[in-house]
Amino acid sequence: MTTYDIVSNTVPADDEWFELEVDNDKDLLEVVASAGYNPKGWKYLGPEFTGKKTYRGKLVRLGYVPNLAEPRDKVDKMGYRLVEGQARESFRAKFPKPDGKGSIAFGGSEWRASDGPPRVPCLIVFGDKWGSSFFWSNLDFNDHWRWLVVDK
């Protein structure tokens, strides 16, 4: 943990590295339930991640992207990968107040509700609070979205 994190617990600036502990062994449907959805009928689409890990991550902006495939490709070319959705609540716990600079997508994994389209976990800004949610993977992400990435 950096001094920056201990002192303020404010969301790091874009492109600023920080540490984040993630428990990938939690029940994957807890990611659904933690956003206020009934997990019945939801399915985890992958990929599989296991173990408790401390990631060195940062938030990046990728501009407008038409779907989840493009940010995955963009960050891959930058030498990073998108962080799995299991990190959403860890991020929210570490940085409890949003900075008002946009929503955050955790695009390294996907879920599907019943017969619906694939979705990616995200944090949406609601005033001075985060809202845990899911955003359809095949819809447009405007340039206000930030993406949590880690080194490959």
Each residue of 16-43: pLDDT tens digit? Answer: 999 999 999 989 999 999 999 999 999 9
| One-letter amino acid of 22 | V
Percent of the chain with pLDDT over 90: 86
If one counts the domains in the chain, the total is 1
Kindly tell me if the per-residue pLDDT of 2 is higher than 90: no
Structure token pair of residue 106: 């955790």
Containing H/E element for 76?
Answer: helix 69-77
Where does residue 150 rank: exposed (0-12), middle (13-18), buried (19+ CB within 10 A)? buried
Q: pTM to 2 decimals?
A: 0.91
How does residue 101 score in pLDDT terms, banded at 50, 70 and 90? very high
Q: Looking at residues 96-124, what average pLDDT do you find? A: 95
How does residue 9 score in pLDDT terms, banded at 50, 70 and 90? confident
Q: Give pLDDT, residue 19.
A: 97
| Average pLDDT of the chain to the nearest whole number | 92
Closest CA to 29 of 19, 16, 42: 42
Q: Give pLDDT, residue 1.
A: 45
User: Which range of residues forms the domain containing residue 139?
Assistant: 3-151
CA–CA dist 136, 112 (Å, integer): 9
Q: Which CATH number is 142's domain given?
A: 3.10.100
Kindly tell me if the per-residue pLDDT of 94 is higher than 90: yes
Please give the backbone phi and psi of residue 52, each rounded to the nearest 5 degrees, phi first: -90, 130
Q: Looking at residues 135-146, what average pLDDT do you find? A: 94
